[in-house]
Amino acid sequence: MAAPAFLAYLLAAVLFIFGIRRLRSAETARSGNSISAFGMLIALGTTLFITGTLSLPEILAGMVIGGAIGAVSAQKVKMTAMPQMVAAFNGVGGGAAALIALSEFYQTDVLGTRPETLVGSITAVLSILIGCVSFAGSVIAFSKLQDLFLTGSVSFPLQRTVNAVVLLVALLCGANAISGGAILPFLSPFASIAVLFLLALGLGVLLVVPIGGADMPIVISLLNAFTGLAAAMSGFVLSNYVLIISGTLVGSSGTILTRLMSSSLGRPLGKILFASVSGAAAKKSGEREERPVNAASPEDVAALLNYEAEKVIMVPGYGLAVAQAQGAMADLARLLEERGKEVKFAIHPVAGRMPGHMNVLLAEADVPYDRLYDMEDINDEFAETDVVIVVGANDVVNPAASDPEVESPISGMPVLDVKSARHVVFVKRSLSPGFAGVDNPLFYDTEKTMMLFADAKQGLQDIIAAVKSGQ
Amino acid sequence: MSSTLLLSEFAVFVIAAFLGFELITRVPSLLHTPLMSATNAIHGIVLVGAILALAAPGDTFTKVIGFIAVVFGSMNVMGGYWVTNRMLEMFRARPARRRRRR
């Protein structure tokens, strides 16, 4: 590599490091992202100019097409759909890394246009394996979050054994390709690479299919780290430092981020990946229909708020974000405060499926920032609260999460302790369980719980109207 | 590949791994998702590899594979940075409001 290119790549890598560093605080994060984007511009410009590929129309066409798809979808995606968007971009990155390695293998083994090296072959195999797992896993994650197919957790007998067998056969094919076909004489090196490619895709599907919805952000973070590692492996294949440095940075920082996320949710990583979510959740959903609930009208809720509530806590969830009901919730809070009641907002770390997402949505609705409380800060206060209003949240207030008897996708996740309050009002379209697919026993506590079956926004507006007319 | 080149590549790999661990410590959970998205954009650097793969001499197969890789990599880069910026734009509004209200 020529010295100017080398130095330009080094500069790009330094900008990535500097950019990640500035992502630590909300104040500097945006400039950090821009700095890292500038580094990317330098790295790409260098590649195009120094290697003379700027004149190749197929490269420019590919960049324009891919860039346009990326930019348009990034601009159009709703804030609530952010996790699946991140999964999608991660998936294509992993796919690109796998395809690069596939192409390099083809060049050495079939065309003979590239010198074959042992390290090149090993890292190409790893790049294909990790990249394909990341691609297929991200596709499944995307579809789960988008409610396309395979939503909830899907499990089948001997799942772990099947995964292990698929991985072993894939590795065997990889070893065969590296050894030039010495291990499995009936498979040519490139044919075994093709089999490895397909098996790795299958493995990605198998790994993510059993994982329940509440754990999805953590899985996406893990796949993100995988793609970084796959990119680093491509760097070894191509002997390109900027790929090695940036891919490794993402691989290791992504691993730490995954661990931070899972520990802040009280969900050990091993449990998420290998928990056998058996019939427990399904069995519970079967008996759901027969149990009575206390269905309430907006007037019932208003009477409760007007006459029995001194202290109220609002719990916003994903459903509220989807219904764009944060304004209505803020209005109800203001109205209750005008009536001399104390109102606070309780924010679960994954409210809205995305850490930190709910704070932003409420800030946009002009909810005073000092009324928003994190889970740790407010959980003790539920016991002395008269009414909790839960809008569009289920998993994050589900007491079943701490029930050792129930094995479920949300087991062990810390939840908001709404069950300790005197009254709980759920504003919800139906009795359907939340994203994690686990029934909430609080729905059926007819002494304590009122269910207002309505769209989040409409329901809140009806309550506001009823509170106004009730006094 | 000479062994000195390989060794220096490996050294860079190990150092970058430690650097990554050091960079992401004590991040508030508030920023976990934007951070994930930003690192996601950085691994879009595979686009450099995809460009090199497509530029290398080859046949129709490598051209098709390389082209798809370039499209994928460009989506990753462009979409990753764009969406991270949109997310962080919303975070920026927060401290300003806070000051106004106090």
Averages of pLDDT over each 10 residues, chain A, 471 residues: 86 94 85 95 92 84 95 89 90 96 88 80 94 95 82 74 92 90 83 94 92 80 94 92 94 91 76 56 46 84 87 87 84 90 86 70 74 84 91 82 69 82 88 73 85 88 88 59
Please tell me which of the candidates A21, A103, A363 has its beta carbon nearest to residue B53. Answer: A103
pTM for this model (two decimals): 0.81
Mean pLDDT in chain B? 84
Mean pLDDT for the stretch of residues B78-90: 89
- Taking CB atoms and an 8 Å limit, are B72 and A230 in contact across chains? no
Q: Report the gap between the CA of A285 and the closest CA in chain B (Å).
A: 31
Q: What's the rounded Cα separation, in Å, for the pair B92 and B81?
A: 16
* Whether A395 is catalytic: yes
Residue A40 has phi, psi (to 5 degrees) of -60, -40
pLDDT (0 to 100) of residue B61? 92
pLDDT of residue A291: 73
What is the per-residue pLDDT for A286? 43
Catalytic residue, chosen from A215, A395, A439, A462, is A395
- Name the residue of chain B whose CA is nearest to A102's CA: B65
DSSP annotation of B29: G
pLDDT, residue A375, reads 83
Residues of B in contact with A76 (CB under 8 A): none
**Pairwise CB contact (< 8 Å): B39 & A224:** yes
If 0-12 CB within 10 Å is exposed, 13-18 middle and 19+ buried, where does residue A333 land? Answer: buried
User: Encoding tokens for residue B50?
Assistant: 């995809």
Is the CB of residue A428 less than 8 Å from the CB of residue A392?
yes
Closest partner residue to A65 (CB to CB) among B41, B51, B71 is B71
Whole-angstrom distance, CA of residue B71 vs CA of residue A69: 9
Bridge partners, A390 (sequence order):
A315, A426
Nearest to B44 by CA among A312, A135, A12, A92: A92
Nearest to A471 by CA among A306, A309, A332, A315: A306
Largest CA distance in chain A: 86
Query: What are the tokens at A391?
Result: 């809008």
Smallest CA-to-CA distance from A58 within B81, B79, B58, B42 is with B58
More confident residue, A90 or B88: A90
Q: Are A292 and A446 in contact (CB under 8 A)?
A: yes
Q: What is the pLDDT of residue A151?
A: 66
CA atoms of B33 and B30, how far apart (whole Å) = 8
Tell me what pLDDT residue A348 has: 83
**Structure tokens of A7?**
């130095």
Residue B99 has pLDDT above 50, yes or no: no
Cα end-to-end distance, chain A, whole Å = 79
Q: Which of B54, B53, B5, B46 is nearest to A1 (CA)?
A: B5
Burial status of residue A270 (CB atoms within 10 A of its CB: 0-12, 13-18, 19 or more)? exposed
What span, in angstroms and rounded, lies between the C-alpha atoms of B44 and B47? 6
Picking from A26, A53, A227, the nearest residue to B31 by CB comes out as A26
Rounded distance between C-alpha atoms, residue A12 and residue B49, angstroms: 15
Residue type, B6: L
B39, A249: Cβ pair inside 8 Å?
Answer: yes
Residue B95's pLDDT band, with cuts at 50, 70 and 90, is: very low
Contact A127, A237 (CB under 8 A): yes
pLDDT at res. A96? 96
* Tokens 């072993």, located at residue: A168
Nearest CA in chain B to A47: B48
Give A221 to chain B, closest Cα distance, Å: 6
Q: Which residues of B fall within a CB distance of 8 Å from A260? A: 24, 27, 29, 32
Interface contact A86-B72, CB threshold 8 A: no
Sign of the CA dihedral running A45, B65, A139, A210: negative
The pLDDT of residue A409 is 65
Interface pTM, i.e. ipTM? 0.89
